[in-house]
Amino acid sequence: MDPSRLLDRFLRYVRCDSESGDERAFCELIESELRAMGVPFSRDEVGERACSNGWNIFASLPGQGEPILFSAHLDTVPPGKGIRPMVADGVVRSSGDTVLGADDKSGVAAIMEALETMVQGDAPHRPVEVLFTVCEELGLYGSRYADYGPIRSRQAVVLDGGRPGIIVNKAPAHVMLTVTIQGRSAHAAAAPEQGIHAIKAAADAIAAIPCGRVDEETVMNVGTFHADGKPNIVPALAVFEMEIRSHKEELLQKRLQDTQDAIAAACRTYGASYTIESERHAGALDVPADSPLIQKLQAVCRELGAQTAVEGGFGNSDATWIFGHGIDAVNIGTGMSAVHGVGEHIKIADLENTARLVLAMTRP
């Protein structure tokens, strides 16, 4: 691993705009570098379904033993155009008016640097597979629609976490709901009894829906509410959006049913009707802490001087969809900090250790 080359690579990557949905230029840059290395790759054309002008990239490098998959996402959150990285005191930061893009170009850079090191060296390594995805930030769309047919690996490491040494092995199933309450408009002064008050029905439903940590395995939240109208008109329409996340499918299904029951009861009270649109963002991730993948990751982290912890959380990453296709997948930290804001930064030492970790995980 060449630290100078790695830093140059990371800086080159963050300067290449790739906000979610507009990853084409970065896809082309990664392909050009894979081509120059002589690493075989293919396009996974998920762009239309993922709402992107880019595509997933799948690459593979032959080796000895059992294959391993590494994954990172190509997109960044806004503001992510015209990023001007600044290096000082061993840290890379944005110039303060954009994100840095370490989420997740630190993961992309570490994987690419490890690939180039393996191509140029003569040390034996496992067969390596790579999946770079688009539109992760919009809802894991790249990994959701990815073609997993070519992937032979049964173990995967996703490089999309914060603190080094943190291994995320559990994440919740995640469902988004859009609830539409239909009432009937009427003049609020002349004929209020002819109206059906959609806002009142929606408000009663929301009051009955728990938010926050509703049990040890589940969190829920109502996040938006919308109802156009005028003060002198009984409102005929109200819409709200919410999410449910749970580590256990049976609890997720129970909370979904409880939510529908609360909405139905409120609508009966006011004589309103309702529809619920549901979108499943991810299934549950659950890789045992004593799995061979995690055991090796912990050993490698110790070699690199990083303290390790195996943790569950309520966030999601591409690991959830990879796991859903029969592959043990965990998400690990690269050292990115203050992500999704203009204060985003990463220590160069953490970036280097992430590339070293990828290399160490490829040892037969």
Which domain, by its residues, includes 244? 173-282
pLDDT-based confidence at 94, cuts 50/70/90?
A: very high
**234 and 245 share a domain?**
yes
Radius of gyration for the chain, computed over Cα atoms and rounded to the nearest angstrom: 24
Mean pLDDT of 90-115: 97
Give residue 250's pLDDT: 95
| Percent of the chain at pLDDT exceeding 70 | 100
Q: What CATH code is carried by the domain that includes residue 216?
A: 3.30.70.360
Mean pLDDT of 155-184: 96
Give the list of residues 6+ apart from residue 163 with CB closer than 8 angstroms, or none.
333, 335
Number of domain units in the chain: 2
pLDDT-based confidence at 306, cuts 50/70/90?
A: confident
**265 and 310 share a domain?**
no
**273 and 217 share a domain?**
yes
- Residue where a domain stops, chosen among 217, 247, 282: 282
pTM assigned to the model: 0.91
Give residue 133's pLDDT: 98
Largest CA distance in the chain: 86
The pairs formed by 40-45 with CB atoms below 8 angstroms and a separation of 24 or more are: 41/130, 42/150, 44/146, 44/147
pLDDT in tens, 9-36: 999 999 999 999 999 999 999 999 999 9
Pairing of strands 68-73, 155-161: parallel
**80 and 47 share a domain?**
yes
Give residue 173's pLDDT: 95
Cα gap 107→128, rounded to integer Å:
15
- Residue where a domain stops, chosen among 282, 312, 329: 282
**58 and 14 share a domain?**
yes
**241 and 180 share a domain?**
yes
Give residue 122's pLDDT: 87
**Rounded to the nearest 5 degrees, what angle is found at the Cα of 206, between the Cα atoms of 200 and 207?**
90
**75 and 162 share a domain?**
yes
Q: What CATH code is carried by the domain that includes residue 327?
A: 3.40.630.10
Residue with tokens 């008050």: 197
Q: Which of 266, 172, 182 is nearest to 219 (CA)?
A: 172
**278 and 290 share a domain?**
no
**220 and 334 share a domain?**
no
Tokens at 314, concatenated: 């309520």
Tokens at 37, concatenated: 């290395």
Cα gap 119→72, rounded to integer Å:
20
On whether the CB atoms of residues 104 and 23 are closer than 8 A, the answer is no
Mean pLDDT of 54-71: 97
**126 and 204 share a domain?**
no
Mean pLDDT of the chain: 97
pLDDT in tens, 104-149: 999 999 999 999 999 999 899 999 999 999 999 999 999 999 999 9
Cα gap 148→150, rounded to integer Å:
6
Residue type for position 339:
V
**10 and 104 share a domain?**
yes
- Residue where a domain stops, chosen among 266, 282, 298: 282
Q: Which of 255, 257, 240 is nearest to 203 (CA)?
A: 240
**324 and 334 share a domain?**
yes
**Rounded to the nearest 5 degrees, what angle is found at the Cα of 212, between the Cα atoms of 261 and 265?**
15
Mean pLDDT of 265-282: 96
Q: Is the pLDDT assigned to residue 240 strictly greater than 90? A: yes
